[in-house]
Amino acid sequence: MAIEPLRYEKLAGELAGMISDGILKQGDRLPSVRRLSQERRLSVSTVVQAMRQLEERGLVEARPQSGYFVRPPAMARREPEARATPDGPMPVDISQRLVHVLQAGAKPGVAPLSAALPANELLPIAALHRLYAGVARRHPHLLETGSHVHMDLPPLVRQLVRRSLAWGGPLAAEEFVITNSCTEALNLCLRAVTRPGDTVAVESPAYYLMLQLLETLGLKALEIPCDPRTGMSVEALELATRNGGVAACLLVANGSNPLGSVMPDERKRRLAALMAARGIPVIEDDIYGDLHFGDERPWPVKAFDDSGNVMLCASFSKCLSPSLRIGFIAAGRHKPAVALQKTITSGGTNPLTQMVLAEYLESGAVDRHLHSLRRTYRRQVESMQAAVSRYFPASTRIAQPQAGYVLWVELPEGIDTTQLHGRALRERLSYVPGELFSASGMYRNCLRLNCGNPHTPEIDDAIRRLGRIFGGGESAAKEGRA
Ligand SMILES: Cc1ncc(COP(=O)(O)O)c(C=O)c1O
């Protein structure tokens, strides 16, 4: 028997057909939800679900308080391209500027477009509070012993091993080290396999905190070009590591920050094999792996390595709460060196919080939460892309993230986002200037926007005003809307 499409799927299919037949044209406003609901005798929630499906397919966009509009075809939006990077390693010097940018962007009243933080209302904070109370009552012994006893709580490690089935695992319980955040995880891995003065291969553009870690550990960054869709170039990495001298490779293969790229499996396989053959440890940050936009959870590079060379790091900051400060490392053959660094750096990790997390992961609620969070982040990223293409200068290039919730934007050559940052702050707007994603100060005409908040009229207005600072003006806005 044929399977009938659901009502919302049928409506979405009919509207998609009208778009592809040109009956509804780019920029046209779709009939309102209320009108479609009355005319088609469907519930409002069915119509809203149909609209969401069209949004997910990239066919329409929601504009705050105006309704749904037919989007320009995806191909019409130009994306940034991979850029050539300096040949040799470079010392890093971004920390002072970065601290200023992040502190200024976090001030009350400033539009939250800089730090990659999610809105509180998207996180299961009430459920975590309830678990804290329950765990404190049921497990009083957790706070009764010394900090070095409960280093890696077995119930949490068990949950991580179970979850690792979706990462191409299962990984062995013995590989895990529980950390205070992903930042600590990356720090420990770097300390375990490098010495001051060493060189580390990083993505270009790279997550600024990784560069900051290199800076504070006295390490040099070797920038490897990245494709905005498919991530680090393995060919470039192969050339750059041919003559030795690289102590580690640090990357975010799933949902790079800032590009949002996801490396295809074949690239991951080649990278894992190359680094293993050359004896260069890989430090992989998979914090965005669960926040993919595709149908399947992408595997990390670690899934393609059987030599124990890859240290997989992540945390629950992006999906449960940044304040949990719990992360982990599956350290492979580097486990003893990493565990030693953990002991001398911070001892154990708060056992009460480890237990809360273990119980949350066991509850099954986590998968429902992640399912809806992925869709929400994706929608927010799409709304941000639409707003940027409406308000920024016409030749702006916009990344097409495949995971996460940050958006990389490339302005026309000559627009200096570092220079304009002060003006943006004076207008209570924030962003992270592109040069902070590179040791060599590339990307001065780029910026990163945080899409962790719902795309409210206030956020839309902030992007409109940012667009004006970058020379977008009303004419570009009209052009974008046409
Ligand atoms: C790629 C990446 N790694 C790590 C972090 C920090 O994670 P945590 O809060 O667990 O230290 C972030 C936060 O922006 C990130 O984007």
Q: Which of 27-36, 57-66, 259-268 has the highest mean pLDDT?
A: 259-268
Between the CA of 183 and the centroid of ligand 1 the distance, in Å, is 6
Between the CA of 20 and the centroid of ligand 1 the distance, in Å, is 40
Local confidence band at 4 (pLDDT 50, 70, 90 cut-offs): low
Query: Does residue 315 have its Cβ closer than 6 Å to ligand 1?
Result: yes
Percent of the chain at pLDDT exceeding 70: 94
Q: At residue 66, does pLDDT exceed 90?
A: no
Q: At residue 2, does pLDDT exceed 70?
A: no
**Residue 481's pLDDT is what?**
38
Between the CA of 117 and the centroid of ligand 1 the distance, in Å, is 9
Tell me how far CA of residue 127 lies from CA of 87, 119, 347, 355, 366, in angstroms. 50, 16, 28, 14, 11
Between the CA of 287 and the centroid of ligand 1 the distance, in Å, is 7
**Residue 145's pLDDT is what?**
67
Between the CA of 185 and the centroid of ligand 1 the distance, in Å, is 10
Q: Are strands 397-398 and 327-330 parallel, antiparallel or unpaired?
A: unpaired
Q: At residue 480, does pLDDT exceed 80?
A: no
Query: Does residue 183 have its Cβ closer than 6 Å to ligand 1?
Result: yes
Pocket test for ligand 1, best of 117, 259, 315 (most atoms within 8 A of CB): 315
Q: At residue 60, does pLDDT exceed 90?
A: no
- Return the SS3 of 168: coil
pLDDT tens for each residue of 224-255: 999 999 999 999 999 999 999 999 999 999 99
Between the CA of 49 and the centroid of ligand 1 the distance, in Å, is 32
Average of per-residue pLDDT across 453-457: 94
Q: Among candidates 266, 269, 356, which has minimal Cα distance to 316? A: 356
**Residue 143's pLDDT is what?**
82
Q: At residue 263, does pLDDT exceed 80?
A: yes
**Residue 104's pLDDT is what?**
96
Q: At residue 478, does pLDDT exceed 90?
A: no
Percent of the chain at pLDDT exceeding 90: 83
The protein residue whose alpha carbon is closest to atom 7 in ligand 1 is 182
Between the CA of 182 and the centroid of ligand 1 the distance, in Å, is 6
CB burial class (10 A; 0-12, 13-18, 19+) of residue 130?
middle
Q: At residue 3, does pLDDT exceed 80?
A: no
Per-chain mean pLDDT for the chain: 92
Query: Does residue 286 have its Cβ closer than 6 Å to ligand 1?
Result: no
Between the CA of 290 and the centroid of ligand 1 the distance, in Å, is 13
Structure tokens at 189: 């891995």
Average of per-residue pLDDT across 453-475: 89
What gap in Å lies between CA 462 and CA 460, rounded to an integer? 5
- Give the domains, in start order, of the chain with CATH numbers: 7-74 (1.10.10.10), 102-120+367-481 (3.90.1150.10), 123-365 (3.40.640.10)
**Residue 9's pLDDT is what?**
81
Q: Which residues sit opposite 202 in a β-bridge? A: 223, 250
**Residue 451's pLDDT is what?**
97
Of 295-309, 436-450, 468-482, minimum mean pLDDT range: 468-482
What gap in Å lies between CA 311 and CA 40, rounded to an integer? 54
Q: Among candidates 338, 276, 273, which has minimal Cα distance to 309? A: 276
DSSP 294-307: SSSPPPPGGGG--S
Task: Tell me the H-state helices in 72-203.
Answer: 95-105, 125-138, 154-163, 181-193
Q: Residues 164-172: contacts with CB within 8 Å, 24+ apart?
A: 164/330, 166/297, 167/286, 167/289, 167/297, 167/299, 167/300, 167/302, 167/303, 167/312, 168/299, 168/300, 168/302, 168/303, 168/304, 169/303, 171/302, 171/312, 171/330
**Residue 58's pLDDT is what?**
73
Which amino acid is located at 340 in the chain? L
Query: Does residue 327 have its Cβ closer than 6 Å to ligand 1?
Result: yes
Local confidence band at 339 (pLDDT 50, 70, 90 cut-offs): very high
Average of per-residue pLDDT across 100-113: 96
**Residue 49's pLDDT is what?**
87
What gap in Å lies between CA 398 and CA 228, rounded to an integer? 10
Local confidence band at 479 (pLDDT 50, 70, 90 cut-offs): very low
Q: At residue 482, does pLDDT exceed 50?
A: no
Structure tokens at 191: 């300390």
> What is the CA 360 to chain-centroid distance, rounded?
22
**Residue 443's pLDDT is what?**
97
340 within 8 A of 191, measured Cβ to Cβ: no
- Return the SS3 of 67: strand
**What is the chain's Cα-based Rg?**
23
**Residue 266's pLDDT is what?**
96
Between the CA of 192 and the centroid of ligand 1 the distance, in Å, is 19
- Return the SS3 of 398: strand
Angle between helices 457-469 and 365-391 (to 10 degrees): 40
**Residue 475's pLDDT is what?**
40
Local confidence band at 477 (pLDDT 50, 70, 90 cut-offs): very low
Q: At residue 76, does pLDDT exceed 70?
A: no
The protein residue whose alpha carbon is closest to atom 4 in ligand 1 is 182
The larger pLDDT score, comparing residue 273 to residue 147, is at 273
pLDDT tens for each residue of 387-440: 999 999 989 999 999 999 999 999 999 999 999 999 999 999 999 999 999 999
- Residue 224's φ and ψ, nearest 5 degrees, are -110, 130
Q: At residue 74, does pLDDT exceed 70?
A: no
Q: At residue 474, does pLDDT exceed 70?
A: no
Between the CA of 372 and the centroid of ligand 1 the distance, in Å, is 21
Cβ neighbours, 10 Å, residue 454: 15
Q: At residue 55, does pLDDT exceed 90?
A: no
Average of per-residue pLDDT across 139-165: 86
Query: Does residue 317 have its Cβ closer than 6 Å to ligand 1?
Result: yes
**Residue 308's pLDDT is what?**
98
Q: Which residues sit opposite 293 in a β-bridge? A: none
CB burial class (10 A; 0-12, 13-18, 19+) of residue 308?
middle
Pocket test for ligand 1, best of 257, 312, 324 (most atoms within 8 A of CB): 257
**Residue 26's pLDDT is what?**
83
Query: Does residue 405 have its Cβ closer than 6 Å to ligand 1?
Result: no
Pocket test for ligand 1, best of 113, 178, 184, 209 (most atoms within 8 A of CB): 209
Q: What is the pTM of this model?
A: 0.85
Average of per-residue pLDDT across 289-316: 97
**Residue 210's pLDDT is what?**
98
Average of per-residue pLDDT across 91-113: 96
